[in-house]
Amino acid sequence: MAFFKGVPVAISGTGMYVPDRVLTNEDLSRMVDTSDEWIRERTGIRRRHIAEAGELTSEVALKAGRAALEAAGLVPSEIDMVMVATNSPDTLFPGVAPKVQGMLGAGRAGAFDVQSGCTSGVYSMALAAAGIASGIWRNVLVIGAEVLSPIVDWTDRNTCVLFGDGAGAVVLSPSCGNGRFLSAELRSDGTKHDQITFPGGLVENPASHETVEQKKHYVTMKGNDVFKFVNRVIPPFLRELCEDSGLSPEEIDWWFFHQANQRIIERAAERLGIASEKVFINLDEYGNTSAASVFIALSEFVKQGRLLPGQRLLFTAFGAGMTYGGVIYET
Ligand SMILES: CC(C)(COP(=O)(O)OP(=O)(O)OC[C@H]1O[C@@H](n2cnc3c(N)ncnc32)[C@H](O)[C@@H]1OP(=O)(O)O)[C@@H](O)C(=O)NCCC(=O)NCCS
């Protein structure tokens, strides 16, 4: 069952930042044995934005966070909590969120990272809404930020064509009128924890010459297993999420899927009977930006002037763990 129903919490601002540098499929075809045609047909991705050498996750997070705060009309001292959803933190500790909180000068805020694969963005949005609804916090800055490029193996065609860098952010605040989170459901199938991993450098595989030689300091993925898992689990999960919220899939106005793969999104939409016009897609431009993807999608949607009162938006993601989840928001 969905863990809350109709909490009066509103998205009061959105923002995003992506690095200027673009890597096209053509560029990749000169780096590994792949082609623009293969990548487009199998994934829908055409381009991805890549951070400059030395550009940190905390820096891209800060830029997206500042934009969201400005859109919300808030100053940093009004923020009670900074959450950063990320799988590519600058360092294991400190987290990215405390660095962002410090750079913002959000002197009254706490700060922590949410790291649960690509679902981290959806997890953190639900957590922030629940925290505001229960009175722990008033204004929460939730940022999804990734600089995955330094931890992607640029010689592995199975993974390097998929990912991109970037950040998106939302400010959540108590609703004064329109805006409420209708429901949220956060799940995991940890028996599949070996499907997407970054195995090196910590307790299981402490950094050594061997872990470097064995390329354990890169993202590894059983792509086809992930593909099958998501196709099997996500469509019925989303149907259940809608039903638990007293809605049918047709009553959702806009679907914000984790921007991992267009084929996955299209199959899910088909099985749920969702019209393609209701599905927001921007993975062609950004690739899979992991925890940032749903925030970047929402931010672009808002920039395009498409967010209107009375819409129901569904955000859903899946990723390493294997975690998955969904949140329904009414504008
Ligand atoms: C990665 C993915 C695009 C691969 O597509 P697929 O249809 O499953 O392809 P497979 O993995 O079965 O591989 C088919 C062939 O293409 C090859 N291939 C893989 N990547 C390639 C690339 N970039 N270019 C050309 N060929 C490639 C494989 O080596 C394989 O060749 P083989 O048959 O000679 O062994 C797809 O599985 C996928 O998107 N999975 C989900 C990944 C994801 O979303 N991860 C993030 C989750 S948060």
Q: Which tens digit of pLDDT belongs to each residue from 63-76?
A: 999 999 999 999 99
Contact 121, 293 (CB under 8 A): yes
**What is the percent of the chain where pLDDT is above 70?**
99
Q: Please determine, for residue 2, whether its predicted confidence score (pLDDT) is greater than 60.
A: no
How far, in Å, from the CA of 31 to the mean position of ligand 1? Answer: 17
Q: What's the confidence (pLDDT) of residue 134?
A: 94
38 lines ligand 1 (CB under 6 A): yes
Contact 87, 115 (CB under 8 A): yes
For a substitution probing ligand 1, which of 158, 162, 288 has the most ligand atoms within 8 Å of its CB? 158
Q: What are residue 22's DSSP bridge partners? A: 49
157 lines ligand 1 (CB under 6 A): yes
Active site residues: 118, 258, 288
Higher pLDDT, 176 or 268: 268
Domain that holds residue 270: 1-331
Band of residue 117 on the pLDDT scale cut at 50, 70, 90: very high
Q: What's the confidence (pLDDT) of residue 4?
A: 66
Q: What CATH number did the domain enclosing 121 receive?
A: 3.40.47.10
**Residues recorded for the chain:** 331
Tokens of 265: 């999104």
Segment 293-307 shows an average pLDDT of 98
Band of residue 121 on the pLDDT scale cut at 50, 70, 90: very high
Closest atom of ligand 1 to CA, residue 320: 48
Residue 31 to residues 24, 55, 98, 214, Cα–Cα distance (Å): 11, 22, 36, 20
- Residue identifier of the C-alpha nearest atom 28 of ligand 1: 158
The Cα 139–Cα 304 span in angstroms is 25
Closest atom of ligand 1 to CA, residue 230: 41
Contact 324, 318 (CB under 8 A): yes
- First and final CA of the chain: distance in angstroms? 22
Q: What are residue 288's DSSP bridge partners? A: 163
Q: What is the pTM of this model?
A: 0.97
Domain count, the chain: 1
Segment 94-106 shows an average pLDDT of 98
How far, in Å, from the CA of 3 to the mean position of ligand 1? Answer: 35
Q: What's the confidence (pLDDT) of residue 212?
A: 97
